[in-house]
Amino acid sequence: MGEVLQSIRERMVKFYASDDNAITLNAVQGHFATSSSHINYYIDVTSLKVRAKEAREVARALKNKLLHHVTTVDTIVCMDGTEVIGAYLAEELEKGHFANNNKHETVYIVAPEVNSVNQLLFRENIRPSIEGKNVLLLLATMTTGDTVRRSVECIEYYGGNMVGVAPLFGTMERIGHTEAFPLFTTNDLPGYQTFTPHECPYCKKGIPIEAMVNGFGFSKL
């Protein structure tokens, strides 16, 4: 691993969710690029996704955020490698308080294919899990909302009825007409900022971009 990437790992700091001290997020300040923006924090949700115990805690916290706002979830569409959280979340939803209309009386969990322009692709065998279903979109990070907006459009194109967007970290309260229920928000990360690439103050100062980041993680430019 290169020096820059090593340094990113070493500078990681823990942040606690304002309303839930059992859940922490790792983040590092710096100068990073997403597909559509530049940001001054890289947010790392890896441990929330890959550790069973943390994924379970996240599912429980997300369930509480959805409670009284979302009534029916038939299908959870998992982006950015959030399938483990999705499975625990389905279990939480099935414990009560939430309805689902599926014939099999269980929540469907779908991880779609994503093409090179970030469009979701649902093949024929998966379409019955989307068409006419109440869909919750689960994902790692939502910064400008561009990628999420495209995903919502795709789900609706395939006949899904969006009931909510649940990012582990999110900057917005809604995407179009769909309400968002972020686990962590900008309130939890003091000074978090996002810029369009040509307005980025770090670029203007000639500070190099440290890494490309997305919901899966970070990598070299």
Q: What is the CA radius of gyration of the chain?
A: 17
Tell me, by CB under 5 A, how many residues bind Zn ion.
4
Residue 4 interacts with Zn ion (CB under 5 A)? no
Residue 133 interacts with Zn ion (CB under 5 A)? no
**Minimum distance from CB of 208 to Zn ion (Å)?**
9
What is the rounded distance in angstroms from the CA atom of residue 131 to the CA atom of residue 173?
25
Q: Binding string to Zn ion for residues 176 to 205, with x set by CB under 5 A, is what? A: ------------------------x-xx--
**Minimum distance from CB of 29 to Zn ion (Å)?**
13
Sequence length of the chain is 221
Residue 175 interacts with Zn ion (CB under 5 A)? no
Of the pair 37, 100, the CB lying nearest Zn ion is at 37
Residue 41 interacts with Zn ion (CB under 5 A)? no
Of the pair 39, 70, the CB lying nearest Zn ion is at 39
Which residue has the CB atom at the shortest distance from Zn ion? 200
Please report how the helices 52-66 and 83-94 are oriented relative to each other, as an axis angle in degrees rounded to 10: 50
What is the rounded distance in angstroms from the CA atom of residue 88 to the CA atom of residue 126?
20
What is the rounded distance in angstroms from the CA atom of residue 198 to the CA atom of residue 208?
14
For residue 38, the one-letter residue type is H
Give the three-state DSSP class for 86.
helix
Of the pair 96, 206, the CB lying nearest Zn ion is at 206
What is the rounded distance in angstroms from the CA atom of residue 18 to the CA atom of residue 135?
27
**Cβ–Cβ < 8 Å for 214, 169:** no
- Which one of 34-42, 73-81, 119-127, 152-160 is the stretch in contact with Zn ion (CB under 5 A)? 34-42
Q: Could you say which of 8, 38, 41, 148 contacts Zn ion (CB under 5 A)?
A: 38
What is the rounded distance in angstroms from the CA atom of residue 171 to the CA atom of residue 184?
9
Of the pair 38, 133, the CB lying nearest Zn ion is at 38
Of the pair 108, 202, the CB lying nearest Zn ion is at 202
What does the DSSP 8-state code read for residue 209? P
Which residues in this chain contact Zn ion in the complex, by CB under 5 A? 38, 200, 202-203
